[in-house]
Amino acid sequence: RKMATLSVCQPQLGGFSFENCKRNAVLEAEVTKLGCNIPSARKTGTTICGVVFKDGIVLGADTRATEGMIVADKNCSKIHYISPNIYCCGAGTAADTEMTTQIISSNLELHSLSTSRLPRVATANRMLKQMLFRYQGHIGAALVLGGVDCNGPHLYSIYPHGSTDKLPYVTMGSGSLAAMAVFEDRYKQDMEEEDAKRLVRDAIAAGIFNDLGSGSNIDLCVITKGRVDYLRPHDMANKKGVRTGNYKYKQGTTGVLTKSVIKLDLEVVEETVQTMDTS
Partner 1 sequence: MNTRGLRSQPKDSVPVTGMGQQVGAYGVQDTLRSGFSSVKNELLPSHALELSEKNFQLNQDKMNFSNLRNIQGLHAPLKLQMEYRAARQIQRLPFLQSSHLALDTLKGNDESISFEDILNDPSQSEMVGEPHIMMEYKLGLM
Residues marked as catalytic? 46
Tell me the residue length of the chain: 279
The helix (run of H) or strand (run of E) holding residue 65 is: strand 65-67
Residues in contact with partner 1, counted by CB under 8 A, come to a total of 33
Q: Which of 71-79, 89-97, 107-115, 215-223 is the region at the interface with partner 1 (rule: CB under 8 A)?
A: 107-115
| Single-letter amino acid code for the residue at 133 | F
- Reference 157, options 228, 90, 221, 231; nearest CA is 90
**200 φ, ψ (degrees, to nearest 5):** -65, -40
**136 part of the interface to partner 1, by CB under 8 A:** yes
Smaller CB distance to partner 1: residue 121 or 139? 139
The nearest distance, CB 95 to partner 1, in angstroms, is 12
Smaller CB distance to partner 1: residue 19 or 190? 19
Binding to partner 1 (CB under 8 A) within 8-27 occurs at 8-19, 21-22, 25
d(CA 227, CA 85): 8
The nearest distance, CB 83 to partner 1, in angstroms, is 14
Which of 134, 188, 225, 227: binder of partner 1 (CB under 8 A)? 134
**273 part of the interface to partner 1, by CB under 8 A:** no
**111 part of the interface to partner 1, by CB under 8 A:** yes
**131 φ, ψ (degrees, to nearest 5):** -70, -45
d(CA 195, CA 186): 10
Q: Which of 29-37, 45-53, 133-141, 245-253 is the region at the interface with partner 1 (rule: CB under 8 A)?
A: 133-141
**Dihedral sign from CA coordinates of 12, 17, 22, 26:** positive
The nearest distance, CB 108 to partner 1, in angstroms, is 10
**117 part of the interface to partner 1, by CB under 8 A:** no
Q: Rounded to 5, what percent of the chain is helix, strand, coil?
A: 30, 25, 45
Reduced to 3 states (helix: H, G, I; strand: E, B; else coil), residue 112 is helix
Residues that bind partner 1 (CB under 8 A): 1-5, 7-19, 21-22, 25, 99, 103, 106-107, 110-111, 114, 131, 134-136, 138
